[in-house]
Amino acid sequence: MRWLPFELHTHTPHSDGTHTLFEMCMKARELGLSGIALTDHNTTSGMADAAAVTEETGISIIPGLEWTTFYGHMLTLGVPYSEWRDLGPSDIHKGINRVHEQGGIVGIAHPFSLGSPICTGCHWEYVVEDWNDIDYMEVWHETLPPMRNHNAPAFEQWTSLLNQGYRISATAGRDWHRSSEEDDLPAYTYLGLENEEGMPNTESVVNAISSGRICVSMGPRLELQVERGVNRYGIGDIVEVGTPGENGNCEMTVRVIPSHHPDRQLETDEQGLMIIIESNLGELTRYSLAEEQDEIQYSFRADGLLWMRVRLYGMLNGALSTLAFTNPVYFKEAIH
């Protein structure tokens, strides 16, 4: 598995961004990103330059779109233009099906952003009748996302949906329209790609997001492994825990992988740095990391678990905050 950092929500002058695709990808390279998703508002015309820009900058560009409507903004990834103009507030699933039928995925963008009249349709108001149709949610939005008030309810809604048994991925999105030297730090969305070599392609990125192989971070990447017997599971995997009454003992290993990028080298020996393990049963445990400690072990029983994830907690811009979080590892009783 290869973990690479992506920015999944971007704009160019083909909608309302100010930097060209080439300028944005040059900046993405400075930031240490491996790829971006181009998600201009209601158009894919910016992709015309993508191959040439990738060749010159080395940044992979994934085709996408931000459906920008009165009732919400929805990101589509991995497909060309899909029609959205005939959708009303109660039939978003008709549009989602169009994307899925072409092999793409959909994600709700900034679901709790301030809406009209400040931002047309930024607040999600579509009726979702079946959350199984939603592939991912942008739970961290804009730069310095842990500090943004509208991201807290998005994270809470994602957690609530996980508790109800839905397997929805969570991502970060800068909503990148322009760049300046005064910009706050955006988050990385690390994707676990199955292809070990070469440029990340659209299929591998879409597969990583839909499979939940994601760690979102302001600095270090979190690595999670669950062992049950001889089996090993990682982020996004489904752990078969056996039938009721069987031995459900599991071991979890969490590693903190420092970022090599100079702007993201949050110190792992910083006082107050904690790893928090949480689940549908609430917070299970937390560990204060000792100086230079970058790994913890946790033994647990899987009884009653639907999912588990890990958060890294510590100081960010002078305030205690979540620094990184993994998508869950899921649990399922085996059927015999």
SS3 per-residue string spanning the chain: CEEEEEEEEECCCCCCCCCCHHHHHHHHHHCCCCEEEECCECCCHHHHHHHHHHHHHCCEEEEEEEEEECCEEEEEECCCCCCCCCCCCCCHHHHHHHHHHCCCEEEECCCECCCCCCCCCCECCCCCCCHHHCCEEEEEECCCHHHCCCHHHHHHHHHHHHHCCCCCEEEEECCECCCCCCCCCCCEEEEEECCCCCCCCHHHHHHHHHCCCEEEECCCEEEEEEEECCEEEECCCEEECCCCCCCCEEEEEEEEECCCCHHHCCCCCCCCCEEEEEECCEEEEEEECCCCCCEEEEEEECCCCCEEEEEEEEEECCEEEEEEEECCEEEECCCC
pLDDT at 263: 81
pLDDT at 162: 98
Ranges of residues in the chain with a pLDDT under 50 are: 268
Helix axes 50-57, 21-30, angle to 10 degrees: 30
Residue 315 token pair: 């100081």
pLDDT at 3: 96
Residue 311 token pair: 């958060």
pLDDT at 182: 87
Would you say 50 and 35 are in contact if contact means Cβ atoms under 8 Å apart? Answer: no
CA distances from 166 to 128, 161, 162, 169 (A): 13, 6, 5, 9
pLDDT at 117: 76
Query: What are the beta bridge partners of residue 171?
Result: 138
Q: How far apart are CA 310 and CA 324, in angstroms?
A: 8
CA distances from 138 to 141, 174, 208 (A): 6, 10, 15
pLDDT at 265: 75
Residue 137 token pair: 């949610």
Torsion of CA 161, 171, 126, 142, to 10 degrees: 130
Rounded to 5 degrees, what are φ and ψ at 278?
Answer: -135, 165
Torsion of CA 232, 238, 243, 246, to 10 degrees: 30
pLDDT at 79: 92
Would you say 226 and 250 are in contact if contact means Cβ atoms under 8 Å apart? Answer: yes
* Cis bond before residue 117 (omega within 30° of 0): yes
Task: Tell which residue, 270, 266, 276, 260, has the closest CA to residue 308.
Answer: 276
pLDDT at 65: 96
pLDDT at 269: 52
pLDDT at 197: 83
